[in-house]
Structure formats: C-alpha cells, structure tokens
Amino acid sequence: MLNKKTIKDLDVKGKRVLVRCDFNVPMDEELNITDDRRIRSSLPTINYLIENNAKVILMSHLGRPKGEPNPKLSLEPVAKRLSELLNKEVIFAKDDKVVSDKVRDIVSKMEEGDVVLLENTRYRKEETKNGEDFAKELASLGDLFVNDAFGTCHRAHASNVGVANLLPSAVGFLVEKEITVMGNALENPERPFLAILGGAKVSDKIGVIENLLNKVDSIIIGGGMAYTFFKAQDYEIGTSIVEDDKLELARELMKKAEEKGVKLLLPVDIVVAAEFKNDTEFKTVPIDKIPEDMMGMDAGEESIKAFTQEIKKAKTIVWNGPMGVFEMDNFKKGTEAIAKAMAEADALTIVGGGDSASAVEKAGYAKDMTHISTGGGASLGLLEGKVLPGIAAIDDK
C-alpha cells in the first residue's frame, strides 16, 4: 500500500523539518483544549525529529477562520499544551501572516532539537486554495517536509500538497500507520470481513458502499441512511430522514450485494420518536410498523442482537458512522452496542474517524479497538479506494 517515503527515509540531522500536523482540536469558550488526542497523536513524529537533532517547525490549521486572523482560533493554546506533553518549550511564532520576516528570524535562530509552531495556516485564504505563493513562503522555512496530518490528507491545501511539491518529502508515523492499517485491512483482510456503515446520508457513503461490496463478506447499514433503503423497499418511514433522489441507487446497491453474495443487514426494528429531541415520546417498533407521524432515531433491540451476532463472527471489522442520534441519551443504545460488540470481538477492529470515533471515546471503548482513525473525511476516502491528494504529493520511495 505504501510506496511513499516515510520519515525514516530522510536524513534529518541539523535540517529544518517542516511538519504538517493536525492540531484541529476542540476548545471551550475560555480557549481550554477539551480533547488533546490529535496533539498526542503527533508526538511520535515530533519526538523522533527532536531525538534525531532536527530543527522542528510545526504547522496546522484550527477551525475555519476563513482566511482572516481570529484570536479565538489561534494555535497559542496548542503551543502551551504541546510544551507540557514534550516537556520542553515550544516556541510559538505568533504572526497573523503565518510567515513573515519576524517568523523567518525566529526560525533562523533555531538550534538542533528546537520546536517552533507557526500560527493557524487558515489565517491565510490562500491555504485552502493551495495558493502557490503561500506554499513557497512556507517551504522557504524548511529543508524537508513531513506530512503527519492524516485528517487533512483528503484536501489539497498549500500546507500539505503545495509544500510537498517544493521540498523533499515523507509521511510521518501517524499517516504511515493510518494508511498501512486501513490499507492492509482492505487489501488483505482476515475473513469474514464486515463493514458497518451509519450516519445520516447515503450520498456521503455511495463510493464507500460500492468499493466495499467488492471486498467484504457482509455489510451492516444503520443510522439515518437506513431509511432511504427502507423507503426503496416501499416501507412507511414516517417523518424519518430520507434522500428521495437516492431510492433507485439504494435498490441497485441491494441488488449488487445480492449478486456478489454479500450479506446486507438493515435494522429489523427501530426506536421511533415524536420529535427530534431527547425528551420526547419514543417507542420501539418493527420496521414495517413505523407510524406516519414519527421518525426513526436509533436501532431497536432485535437489530442490536442481529448486528452483535454478525460482529462476533467477523475477523476484520471496519466501522464508519453512528447507528442513531447518539448525541441524545435516549437514542445512543444502538451506537454504543456496536462499540461494545467490537470491543469484545476477536477481530481486527478499525473505527473510521469522525462521529464513530467520538462515540467510541464517549462509551469508553477506545482502548479496546485495534485502530481509531484521526481523520473522518480522509478515512472515508481510503474506504472509497480514492487516492488522497496529501499522500499522492509525497515523494515515492
């Protein structure tokens, strides 16, 4: 899967190494970081560079400042947290222009083993447009480039693709692990291979379903997208979420699964609610008894039993997307049951970022999974069999 250079293929001693990290972390109103998992994920790469006497220059985006400086989205709190995690000072090159003479001066004074963090790359509108001039400004700070931001690999931005085209480049340990684990699971899985797909929309996952139908033995479809499949089979779905323009596609996918001998499981019962909120009237009904004035919110107990049995049989499991409205306590049972069953399974278990990752964390099963991806969109791209621009731009071995 990986014929790209990795960090160990570079001679970093004494070199200025520009590293794209994913420090897009959640913060509260007081700008305290509420979950530092993404910062911790970058530590192996940063520590390796420090130990090998590189001058380490880190860059990342945070939130969506839309090309304007926004003090609420400054990376300063990240520099502080990173200093604590590394047990050494991380110099924050505070500058709304991200790269300037002041920043160049800070970088020119670096000693081997020093770490500098640049300001939010999205303070510059050229970042998301992969602007050549901004990429050149960033590249001028380094001798080598390492991409360790898996979460943005599906986007072609100045700080990943632009810079990779201008400097000798490699992937960091995090990106290497992400593409190796997912790649091996998809190309050479221990069978039975099960995919579990949830989330609101079929349209977000069409490519994923089509690619996985060629690879898996069985597939569970839950969450909001299940109602498009139900409606495609002429079931009453009440006021549930549905994509009417995808009904024909849902029928085609079910037919394709049948032709390929892939077992496709949909919920057999549903928790329905009167309104889209936690404290509303709700009950469990079989899928052919959804009331006209209610909406599906979660998988029911019989569905959970069937899904759990399927998970128990599998040897490789990839999960992307919740089974219900897991943010509401009354409708999180289906998603939590999947997390629990995967945690207990004797299988290679991969959770594909985004909502599924936060659900697993929230339910306390994160430590029991083989791999939890740090990038929702990027892991979807891999599941679709797509080439990710941020990885494609890296030098081949």
Query: Which residues are identified as catalytic?
Result: 38, 201, 354, 377
Nearest to 52 by CA among 18, 14, 85, 83: 14
Q: Which residues pair with 283 in a beta bridge?
A: 272
Task: Give the span between the Cα atoms of 47 and 146, in whole angstroms.
Answer: 13
Question: In a 3-state reduction of DSSP, which class is residue 349?
Answer: strand
User: What's the DSSP call for residue 89?
Assistant: P
Instruction: For residue 19, give both structure tokens.
Output: 């590293």
Task: Give the span between the Cα atoms of 88 and 83, in whole angstroms.
Answer: 5
Alpha helix (H) residue ranges in the chain: 37-41, 43-51, 76-86, 101-108, 132-139, 163-164, 173-187, 206-212, 226-232, 247-260, 301-313, 333-344, 354-363, 376-383, 389-392
Report the interhelical angle of 43-51 vs 173-187 (nearest 10°).
130
Task: Give the span between the Cα atoms of 348 and 365, in whole angstroms.
Answer: 14
Task: Give the span between the Cα atoms of 59 and 18, in whole angstroms.
Answer: 7
